[in-house]
Structure 1
Amino acid sequence: MRVYNFSAGPAQLPLPVLERAASELTDWSGSGMSVLEVSHRGKDFVACAADAEATLRRVMGVPEDYRVLFLQGGATAQFAGIPLNLTAPGDTVAYLNTGQWSAKAVEQARAYDLDVVVVADEAASSYTTTPEEGSFSVPQDARYLHYTPNETIGGVEFGYVPDAGDVALVADASSTILSRPLDVSRYGLIYAGAQKNMGPSGLCVVIVREDLLGRARTTTPVVLDYTRMSAADSMLNTPPTFAVYLLGLIAHWLEDNGGLEAMGERNRAKAELLYGAVDASDFYTNPVQERSRSWMNVPFTLADPALDADFLLGAQAAGLTNLKGHRSVGGMRASIYNAMPIEGVQALVDYMTDFEATRA
């Protein structure tokens, strides 16, 4: 029986996509083989990857002067890939630190002989806030401004796109990509691990403006060199073929279901339903500043932490899985990405109400 999977990632995938993949698993496109078995350089898979890219471009409205790369290593590999491709030793780079993932990106950048300027740091709030819009300034000589629109661990999200001026804006959009409309033209580079809204783990999508290419350091590994990897039909990195195939199916699923406008409305409704239940209760609490609350990852704590184990046990029995909060935050965390239907959120709210009634 399918459960409602609230994991922060790898996350629940759309059931129609899984069913389509299952039906094609042993005979893909009439080849008599699985997509897992075909050559990544064969014409059939090259066409599959091209379709995945073209569909993703349509869904997101990616401008023509941006390249779309299918890389490996998750978003974490790009913590190194970005400075390796966009800087030279001694350059200045700017970061917004709003959680554990952006902090890791800062730490990695410091390994590359750069002047790393943290222009806003929310660590003092235990990462429950985001900086006020306009409250920070970006060094004019910075090669880029990096930020994480949504932090999965703390459940904080920017309600605006930071103004980087003439500096290239770089975003780790792993947790929010495809969840709502996004103006790609405001960014120099967007990167995202696939395992939230785009597919299984193992794939990272990089969307980079063409004028930022051609700057990679000579020490940059080929598989992280954006220029080399953006060459026509480049398969130098032996891409994760099944993940690319699933990304294509998910992009088509989004198109068939109203695109990002419709997805954004559904995600807003899900978040409002869950936050409404938490706010209406004296038993549950969300620690995040209200204007900084994430649509995708909703942490909440119980009035008595001693009840956490019972809450999780009962949730599991009710078909509500992976609700345990990150070990650094505690409590619970419900991740409600695109594939989570509102029925799943309603089932969680109903369970929370019943649990409170019996334990409060």
Structure 2
Amino acid sequence: MTSLTAMPDVRPANPNFSSGPCSKRPGWSLDGLSGAPLGRSHRAKPGKSKLAEAIDLTRKVLNVPEDYRIGIVPASDTGAVEMALWSLLGARGVDMLAWESFGKGWVTDVVKQLKLDNARVLDAPYGALPDLSAVDFTSDVVFTWNGTTSGVRVPNGDWIPANREGLTICDATSAAFAQELPFDKLDVVTFSWQKVLGGEAAHGVLILSPRAVERLESYTPLWPLPKIFRLTKSGKLIEGIFRGETINTPSMLCVEDYLDALKWADRVGGLDGLRARADANLQVLADWVDRSSWTGFLAIDPQTRSNTSVCLKVTDQDVLALDDKAQAAFAKAIAARLDQEGVAYDIGAYRDAPSGLRIWAGATVETSDLKALTAWLDWAYAIEKANLAQAA
């Protein structure tokens, strides 16, 4: 066995690099959830108190303005986005921005399900952003802040005017708690607990600006709304949703887990601390990519590289000479080998994305684990490259 294929000495202490559900916070244990009011109604005082606390801590950690509503809603980030699309769109034209799988999914909802004939799609291939200067802000605008499946994020909110006429609806699920969200430029923000904070799945968060509330109270969509999408009653916002009176039954164990993560986030410095951790993790991977002879970022522009869902492509010329199926098999073999060794779980590219690797670098991942992982990535690549040469 050559030095290139000798196993590294140091393993990541935590091999969980999945992009969702994501790694639990450092030091997490079930003991931290002992305060959950299990077996109780979420409408009883203890349950309502926990839900209200989760909303209050979300506001604190994310620096959400006081006049924005925060609601806990069903069906993860998908549910939160769907509620916004089905409840708010149709009042005016809409620009749909898509550069990765989930953004393309919202395009399908608007064009094929809601069948809006005044929808305009601005798209870009994986690795790039659409032309943000071409967005029409007299229309509503729907976009993902961070492309979870492409590793491409918008660099800031400077492209969004303060005097916009339409609403901005932002799917921020892998950006919230890791990137700066300029709430004055965003009318709807959605995310799920299972991303940057590593919470348990199935719950979403919906944040509404006063402009979004005004739209809800002044506009009635032409289509019927399922019960779990209904945010108004008799033309008025259902305020209870934004005080912890959820539309359907939440898991109080999941709520307790979210509270545990929020309190940890507060202890490590709030949003600034979380961003610093994710940025340090991205830097570890960027430094390794700079040294690498076989991999690169899927994101073309360094200013748009995600600090959470880091997407990589294989750049080895011998691999690129293969057909698409063989290239995908090569990347999958690297991921499978590291999974088999218990070094890194779930780091294959998203099923609809270009072949490669996707490594979660959010705040709950320790920088030391990513440093250890890079040596194992080189090891797995060397093994698979040797196998490729032998097969030839």
Which TM bucket (shorter chain)? Answer: 0.7 to 0.9
Partner of 2:202: 202
Give the 3 Å change call, closer, same or farther, for CA 139–263 of structure 1 in structure 2: closer
- Equivalent residues of 1:98, 1:121 under 8 A apart: yes
- In 2, distance between residues paired with 1:278 and 1:181? 25
Encode CA deviations 1:139-166: one digit per residue, 9 max, x unaligned.
52x2x21110111112211112241523
Residue number among 331, 337, 340 corresponding to 2:356 in the alignment: 331
- Equivalent residues of 1:69, 1:229 under 8 A apart: no
Equivalences for 1:150-299 in 2 at 5 Å? 150-161=146-157, 162-164=159-161, 165-198=164-197, 199-213=199-213, 214=217, 215-217=219-221, 219-227=224-232, 229-231=238-240, 232-291=243-302, 292-299=304-311
- CA RMSD, aligned part only? 2.4
- Equivalent residues of 2:144, 2:171 under 8 A apart: yes
Equivalences for 1:19-34 in 2 at 5 Å? 19=29, 21-25=30-34, 28=35
Equivalences for 1:85-104 in 2 at 5 Å? 85-88=87-90, 91-104=92-105
- In 2, distance between residues paired with 1:87 and 1:301? 36
> Given residue 86 of structure 2, which amino acid in structure 1 is its aligned partner?
L
> Given residue 331 of structure 1, which amino acid in structure 2 is its aligned partner?
G
- In 1, distance between residues paired with 2:286 and 2:81? 32
Q: Give 1:49 deviation, angstroms.
A: 0.9
Number of equivalences: 344
- In 2, distance between residues paired with 1:56 and 1:43? 20
Gaps of 5+ in 2: 1-11, 320-326, 387-392
Gaps of 5+ in 1: 29-33
Partner of 2:323: none
> Given residue 197 of structure 1, which amino acid in structure 2 is its aligned partner?
V
Give the 3 Å change call, closer, same or farther, for CA 39–119 of structure 1 in structure 2: same
Give the 3 Å change call, closer, same or farther, for CA 284–81 of structure 1 in structure 2: same
- In 2, distance between residues paired with 1:216 and 1:202? 28
Q: Give 1:347 deviation, angstroms.
A: 1.2
Give the 3 Å change call, closer, same or farther, for CA 137–333 of structure 1 in structure 2: closer
- Equivalent residues of 1:80, 1:109 under 8 A apart: no
Partner of 2:375: 350
- In 2, distance between residues paired with 1:151 and 1:23? 32
- Equivalent residues of 1:84, 1:216 under 8 A apart: no
Q: Give 1:170 deviation, angstroms.
A: 1.2
TM-score scaled by length of structure 1: 0.87
Give the 3 Å change call, closer, same or farther, for CA 200–233 of structure 1 in structure 2: closer
> Given residue 138 of structure 1, which amino acid in structure 2 is its aligned partner?
D
Partner of 1:70: 72
- Equivalent residues of 2:81, 2:171 under 8 A apart: no
- In 1, distance between residues paired with 2:127 and 2:57? 36
Q: Give 1:54 deviation, angstroms.
A: 0.8
Calculate percent identity across the aligned residue pairs. 21
Equivalent residue of 1:321, what SS?
A: coil
Partner of 1:31: none
TM-score scaled by length of structure 2: 0.80
- Equivalent residues of 2:73, 2:246 under 8 A apart: no
**In the alignment, is residue 311 of structure 1 matched against residue 316 of structure 2?**
no
Give the 3 Å change call, closer, same or farther, for CA 307–104 of structure 1 in structure 2: closer
Runs of 4+ in 1 over 6 A off after TM superposition: none
